[in-house]
Chain A
Amino acid sequence: MTAPSRRSLFQMIGVVAGSAAMYHAMTELGYAEGSSFEGPIKLSRPPAGSSVLILGAGIAGMVAAMELRDAGYTVQVLEYNGRPGGRNWSLYGGDTYTELGGATQHVQFDPGQYLNPGPWRLPFHHRGILHYARRMGVAMEPFIQVNYNAYVHSPNGYGGKPQRYRKIQADFHGHVAELLAKSTRQNALDQAVSKEDREILMQALQAWGALDGNYEYKKGVASSMRRGFDVDPGGGIKSVPVPSEPSALSDLLRSGLWSAIGSGHNYELQSTIFQPRGGMGTIGKAMGANLGPLIEYNCKVTDIRQDGEGVTATYVDSRNDGAPRTARAQWCLCTIPTPILAQIPMNVGAPMKAAIDQLPYLAAVKVGLQFKRRFWEEDEQIYGGITYTSLPSTTISYPMWDYYSAGKGVLLGAYTFGRPAYLAAAKSPQERIQDALRDGAQIHPQYPAEYENGVAVAWHRVPWAMGCQGAWTEEARDQHYNNLCALDGRILLASEHASRLPGWQEGSVTSALDAITRLHARVVQP
């Protein structure tokens, strides 16, 4: 390999430093500090007759309802759906889902199979949501974020052939280590690295990049111990391993696949991550059962009005728009998604109203695909984890339950944000499934023969959310975030959209706890 130019070297360092630089930037923005959860909340007993009306039985609404109830408040929860959970939601065989526009899908998954259309991961440091899941008796199993044997894929690299994550990561680290080692030897880093440190750096690069005795990344046992062998070592006579040939640096760089090996470095996606056994929706279901008759289902809120003594919500039956009814309490905690809340007449001040009006929800799409057999396990030894592709489907994730079972399995066949998600939302559910099948077949040729049925959820078409999560920008946050979260008379808001953990259930939990803590302080010290 020829020596790199100074410029390309810095570019490479930039890439390697990417996650560290990103982490630093995120910390400064207040994102990467983890959850603000500080253990179970303890509210003192409020004055007799204190009451709170909660709009929305999602994670935020139900966490608030449980804690306020336990403190002694009279609590009533109104929920649009006929089930608890909100975006905490799993789809099972036998479920029916009708999206905006009227398309109805009858989920045909086998028993034990499911899709989490919304949140699907619980990072270990999201202690709030994990606390409540534990309190509800929800069993946890590990979520595999990084699987070295899953694929990274782009039609523009390696002839469109999917590459094992392991090989791309090993080759990227190896080539970068070799370049840095070369530069160090040529004294190109003199100003940055002292003479004593240079020896240590050389050792580190050799170990980190799996370089050989000459500080080169090339075919041999050292590199194959990272990227895998052409023939694995074995026992007995046929025991000699055959090393594999690393890919060329230029092929690797031009494939773009190096950009797909960083997700697990992200603080929120570092091991250990959990998923509830049997689907994310088990948490919401358990909270709903805990609250029992305190939740009134099938309620579409049409008006929210506060006066000197309390707040009145007017609502109709969400299934048939029947006669209006009202619910009233001294205070109101509203968790309705902002795209919907923006349309509900509500007499709050201009700052909160402006904050609500400027916060649409992002586009996101998930597609679940049931296959007759778990070919990713049987043929390709992929057990859980994620394959990334530059095709519109973006993310393919393998079921992280029932490994080695002989039966069927449901893949997450597509999980996409941004423009691909807008395009998918404009299509019918069947077309979304067809697109996911077409993309996936480029990675797994078994798709056409093994596919059975699927379900596709485009979040802008979800009737009770109108998007997947608050679409904050930094500028909008500076201008509106505090106004969105502030108590306005007798009304205050909670949700992931009122948190700095957008799209995470931990944001919902910590938002709810922060909101009721402030509300309670106001109640006990008027």
Chain B
Amino acid sequence: MMRKIILATLLMALPASAADTPDMRGAPFAMQGGEAVYRGVCQGCHMADAKGASGAGTYPALAANPKLAESGYVLYMVMNGHRGMPPFRGHFTNAQVADVVNFVRSHFGNHYKGKATEADVQALRQ
């Protein structure tokens, strides 16, 4: 089983990039819970304080961001990406997506009602 997986990724992953690593995607993200997902991955662009950052372009702030009022919008962005944001549907489990969406909607000055569920995430996979 393991052999099959390694071979499949070897055949699949190489051509799309200048990388030479056999499996470009790496091991699955193991962190559990919204805060751990945010700290482990999301803050790479949205920053530890969720205030985003600006250079030639901008990573938007999630802190006090009215766009987060609608959980469906946030779920959609995490799953499918948009503009500079990569899609994470292939990287996170349903629980990881729901947890991190709930985390950012209830932290960093956000107090939005309603919780995203794993079923909501699953619906976006159909």
Contacts and interface: CB of A to CB of B under 8 A. Distances in A.
Given A11-B3, A25-B11, A253-B3, A458 B83 contact: no
A300 B54 CA distance: 11
Nearest to B42: A426
Interface of A: 11, 14-15, 18, 21-22, 25-26, 29, 31-32, 80, 100-102, 119, 121, 145, 253, 256, 259-260, 262-263, 266, 268-269, 300-301, 318, 336-340, 342-344, 356-357, 360-364, 386, 388, 392, 394-395, 416-423, 425-426, 458, 460-467, 469, 471-473, 502-504
B82 interface: yes
B41 A101 contact: no
B55 A100 contact: yes
Nearest to B81: A360
The 4 closest A-B pairs by CB, nearest first: A463-B55, A339-B84, A503-B18, A425-B44
Interface stretch (B26-34, B63-71, B93-101, B115-123): B26-34
B50 to A, nearest CB: 12
A259 B44 contact: no
Contacts, number: 168
Residue with the highest number of chain B CB atoms closer than 10 Å, among A31, A344, A423, A426: A426
A422 B57 CA distance: 19
Interface of B: 2-4, 6-7, 10-11, 14-29, 39-45, 47-48, 53-59, 81-87, 91
A260 B22 contact: yes
Given A259-B6, A426-B39, 6 more contacts: A121-B18, A259-B22, A336-B56, A364-B19, A417-B26, A502-B17
A126 B34 CA distance: 45
A236 B122 CA distance: 73
A360 B86 contact: yes
Contacts of B86: 360-363, 467, 471
Contacts of B21: 388, 394-395, 416-418
Contacts of B10: 18, 22, 259, 262
A126 to B, nearest CB: 11
Contact of B57 (A343, A426, A503): A343
Contacts of B55: 80, 100, 462-464, 466
A491 to B, nearest CB: 18
A21 B11 contact: yes
Given A392-B26, A419-B28, A463-B55, A469 B17 contact: yes
